[in-house]
């Protein structure tokens, strides 16, 4: 079964991926992957970048340990 873009209805066999900043309501920022249709460039999905988030957590834990 082929994937079809819900916007332009073309068959999507690959997507364009771009890293973007996501901002939580309280101002916390992290990286997300934005997936868009290669035909019409409209957004298909935005997904949390777990690698970027893990790096941020490690940096915060390291900072807290060294400041004690």
pLDDT at residue 68 in the model: 61
The mean pLDDT value of the chain amounts to 89
Asked if residue 19 lies in contact with residue 33, where contact means CB atoms within 8 angstroms, the answer is: yes
**Domain coverage including residue 53:** 16-66
Cβ-proximal residues to 6 (8 Å cutoff; 6+ apart), any chain: 44
Provide the domain count of the chain: 1
58 within a domain of the structure (yes/no): yes
Q: What is the mean pLDDT of residues 47-53?
A: 82
35 within a domain of the structure (yes/no): yes
For residue 11, CA distances in Å to 28, 30, 38, 61, 66 come to: 36, 31, 10, 44, 52
| Highest-confidence segment of 6-10, 27-31, 54-58 | 6-10
What is d(CA 68, CA 64) in angstroms, rounded to the nearest whole number? 7
């Amino acid at each position: 079964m082929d994937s079809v873009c819900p916007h332009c209805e073309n068959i999507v066999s690959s997507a364009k991926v771009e890293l973007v900043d996501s901002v939580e309501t309280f101002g916390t920022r992290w990286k997300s992957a934005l997936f868009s249709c290669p035909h019409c460039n409209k957004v298909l999905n935005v997904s949390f970048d777990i690698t970027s988030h893990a790096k941020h957590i490690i940096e915060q834990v390291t900072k807290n340990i060294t400041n004690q």
